[in-house]
């Protein structure tokens, strides 16, 4: 097989990243984008873990019809049954059963013998197989498990009906050459291996997740589990965009393809970053802000003469928008709509009207409106649509002599207009205190950061915040040319997520 199956686990392992919780609608939005990106399998969640996760998997299974939709289950009858209940409406459902295999996990966590684990794995795969044709099995912590035992487990689960066997480097311990030998050993020593696809799932604790995945692919693995922007438990998972672009850019070496439409990579990365609140580091390969920026004079000279002197990939192949000046305050609705279409947005008439109104307001404050501004503006509009409380008015007084004071007027969920004012140590503190008086949900602010979307003094500021309540973290984002307004929007966004989560359980 000369095609690598891209198994995206952004919505499961990615969402497990501390502070990256998504609500059901956000998960559906990401799943739709992953479908456009062309992933083969979406691991949509772990249905037994919460009613919200179950609902999200079910909704995605119903709505997203092209990829395989996979639900994760630990090796218990209830978890397998729940995973099936969630995915069974999918056009192509998959159940993914996992169970620890290493002696470390068996001894200290599960307190079971190898024989017991083997039997649990076999019987849970057989149970899943009664429901679904497509069953995956993962021996967790495989990279720290004796190879002979893994071979035994794989043979048993394939006989029980597993169609994909996944080798997880759960704790990111593997080294490429060693991991590759492990994969090659599986092909040599598991007699029924030709009846299953061999998959890998690598964590990034030593920064080797992508290298380990590529080495496994070289040794014959034909499914790779990965996430957008590499998010995931602890240091994250193998980054999908890096694997896909490595396979594409070095086709001469791998001679393999994927079904990914690479021009969708940048937009998918932005959406995941936007909804999870995990900012992409500037030097991140493929999608970081500096990934295609040349600073040294010699490099700039080379790129101007011929891009391949210092660029191994065309930024357009990844869908990175040109940062050229596009529109200004005299641009009409037609030009705005055309630019949105060129950037790949298709908005309903109502959303277009709202976005155009926001564009006009921005163009009044900012002379040059770039693609990045438009992206930020659309993201802001999409946040506004799912509001519970809405900021109607905001007024702040501050300065080196004054006492920072904020007056806030909100539109409550029942349409009632409520207003209050507060003093603070600074303008943001005052605004947050005034909002707290109106909304009345105790929480702790754990993170606050401001970034500018483009260069220039009139740039839009994007604020990212995280708040914590009852051990759960909620992320909020807001954008505006006024960073106090952006801060207020971000706080309101986080509170709205918190309130929605509390309502839906």
Task: Provide the 8-state DSSP code for 308.
Answer: G
CB 17, CB 43: distance < 8 Å: no
Nearer to ligand KIV, 204 or 481 (CB): 204
Contacted entry of ligand KIV, Zn ion, none for residue 383, CB cut-off 5 to 8 Å set by kind: none
Binding partner at 140 among Zn ion, ligand KIV, none, C-beta below 5 to 8 Å by kind:
ligand KIV
- Tell me the Cα Rg of the chain: 25
Residue 138: CB minimum distance to ligand KIV, A = 4
Count of chain residues binding Zn ion (CB under 5 A): 1
* Binding site partner of 98, from ligand KIV, Zn ion, none, Cβ cut-off 5-8 A by kind: ligand KIV
Closest CB to Zn ion among residues 8, 13: 13
Position 13 contacts Zn ion (CB under 5 A):
yes
Measured between alpha carbons, how far is 261 from 501 in angstroms, rounded to an integer?
A: 33
In terms of CB distance, is 73 or 483 closer to ligand KIV? 73
- Per CB under 6 A, residues contacting ligand KIV are 13, 98, 138, 140, 166, 168, 170, 201, 203
Binding of residue 53 to Zn ion (CB under 5 A): no
| Contact present, 120 and 114 (Cβ < 8 Å) | no
**129 vs 203, beta carbon nearer ligand KIV:** 203
Is 371 a binding residue for Zn ion by CB under 5 A? The answer is no
Distances (CA, A) of 298 to 302, 307, 350: 6, 12, 49
The count of other CB atoms within 10 Å of the CB of residue 270 is 21
- Contact between 434 and 420 under an 8 Å Cβ cutoff? The reply is yes
Residue of this chain nearest to Zn ion (CB atom): 13
Distance (Å, rounded) from C-alpha 369 to C-alpha 366?
7
Minimum Å gap between C-beta 157 and ligand KIV is 13
Among candidate residues 463, 481, 484, the one with its CA nearest the CA of residue 404: 484
In terms of CB distance, is 168 or 321 closer to ligand KIV?
Answer: 168
Encoded tokens for 26 = 């956000």
Tell me which stretch binds Zn ion (CB under 5 A): 6-14, 411-419, 433-441, 445-453: 6-14
Work out how close the CB of 258 gets to ligand KIV at its nearest, in angstroms, rounded to a whole number: 20
Interaction partner, residue 138 (ligand KIV, Zn ion, none; CB < 5-8 Å by kind): ligand KIV
For 14, 16, 56, 196, the CA distances from 53, given in Å and listed in that order, are 13, 12, 5, 28
Give the rounded distance of the alpha carbon of 55 from its chain centre: 18
User: Which CB, 169 or 462, lies closer to ligand KIV?
Assistant: 169
Number of CB atoms found within 10 A of residue 204's CB: 23
Closer Cβ to ligand KIV, 174 or 271, answer by number: 174
CB-CB contact of 101 with 143 (8 Å): no
Q: Which of Zn ion, ligand KIV, none has residue 149 at its interface (CB below 5 to 8 Å by kind)? A: none
Question: Which tokens belong to 18?
Answer: 């501390």
DSSP designation for 296: S
End-to-end CA distance of the chain: 44
Q: Of ligand KIV, Zn ion, none, which one sits near residue 46, judging by CB under 5 to 8 A according to partner kind?
A: none
Rounded to a whole number of angstroms, the minimum distance from the CB of residue 79 to ligand KIV is 11
Count of CA atoms in the C-beta half-sphere (13 A) of 107: 4
- From the list 48, 42, 44, the residue with the least C-alpha distance to 56 is 44
Strand partners, 480: 461
Shortest distance (Å) from residue 5 CB to ligand KIV: 15
Decide which of ligand KIV, Zn ion, none touches 54; Cβ closer than 5 to 8 Å per partner kind.
none
Stretch that binds Zn ion, among 13-21, 76-84, 152-160, 334-342 (CB under 5 A): 13-21
Please give the angle made by the CA atoms of 187, 195 and 197, to the nearest 5 degrees. 65
Give the nearer residue to Zn ion in terms of CB position, either 172 or 404. 172
Of 153 and 439, nearer to ligand KIV (C-beta) is: 153
Residues found near Zn ion in the complex (CB under 5 A): 13
């Amino acid at each position: 097989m000369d095609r690598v199956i891209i198994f995206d686990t952004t919505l499961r392992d990615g969402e497990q990243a501390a502070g990256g919780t998504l609500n059901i609608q956000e998960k559906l939005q990401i799943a739709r984008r992953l479908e456009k990106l062309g992933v083969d399998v979406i691991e949509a969640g772990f249905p037994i873990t919460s009613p919200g996760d179950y609902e999200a998997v079910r909704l995605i299974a119903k709505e997203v019809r092209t990829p395989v939709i996979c639900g994760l289950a630990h090796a218990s009858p209830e978890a397998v049954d729940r995973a099936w209940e969630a995915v069974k409406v999918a056009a192509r459902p998959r159940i993914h059963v996992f169970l620890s295999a290493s002696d470390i996990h068996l001894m200290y966590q599960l307190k079971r013998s190898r024989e017991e684990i083997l039997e649990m794995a076999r019987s849970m795969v057989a149970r899943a197989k009664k429901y679904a044709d497509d069953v995956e099995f993962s021996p967790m912590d495989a990279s720290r498990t004796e190879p002979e035992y893994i071979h035994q487990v794989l043979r048993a689960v394939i006989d029980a009906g597993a169609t994909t066997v996944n080798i997880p480097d759960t704790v990111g311990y593997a080294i490429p050459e060693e991991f590759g030998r492990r994969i090659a050993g599986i092909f040599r020593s598991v007699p029924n291996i030709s009846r299953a696809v061999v998959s890998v799932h690598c964590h990034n604790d030593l920064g080797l997740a992508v290298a380990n995945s590529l080495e496994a692919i070289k040794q014959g693995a034909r499914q790779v589990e990965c996430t957008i922007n590499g998010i995931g438990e602890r240091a994250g998972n193998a980054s999908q965009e890096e694997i896909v672009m490595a396979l594409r850019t070095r086709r001469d070496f791998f001679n393999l393809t994927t079904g990914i439409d690479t021009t969708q990579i940048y937009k998918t990365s932005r959406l995941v970053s936007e909804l999870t609140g995990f900012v992409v580091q500037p030097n991140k390969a493929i999608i970081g802000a500096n990934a295609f920026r040349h600073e040294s004079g010699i490099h700039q000279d080379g790129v101007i003469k011929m891009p391949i002197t210092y660029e191994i990939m065309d930024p357009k192949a990844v869908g990175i928008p040109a940062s050229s000046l596009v529109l200004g305050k005299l641009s009409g609705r037609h030009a705005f709509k055309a630019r949105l279409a060129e950037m790949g947005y298709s908005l309903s008439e109502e959303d277009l009207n709202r976005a155009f109104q926001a564009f006009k307001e921005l163009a009044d404050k900012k002379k040059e409106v770039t693609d990045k501004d438009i992206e930020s503006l659309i993201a802001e509009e999409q946040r506004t649509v799912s509001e519970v409380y809405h900021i109607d008015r905001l007024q702040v007084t501050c300065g080196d002599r004054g006492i920072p004071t904020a007056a806030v007027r909100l539109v409550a969920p029942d349409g009632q207009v409520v207003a209050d004012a507060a003093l603070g140590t600074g303008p943001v503190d005052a605004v947050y205190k005034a909002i707290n008086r109106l909304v009345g949900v105790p929480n702790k602010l754990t993170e606050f950061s401001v970034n500018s979307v483009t260069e220039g003094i009139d740039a839009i500021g994007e604020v990212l915040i995280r708040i914590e309540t009852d051990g759960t973290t909620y992320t909020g984002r807001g954008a505006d040319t006024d960073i106090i307004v952006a801060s207020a929007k971000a706080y309101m966004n986080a509170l709205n997520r918190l309130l929605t989560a509390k309502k839906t359980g």
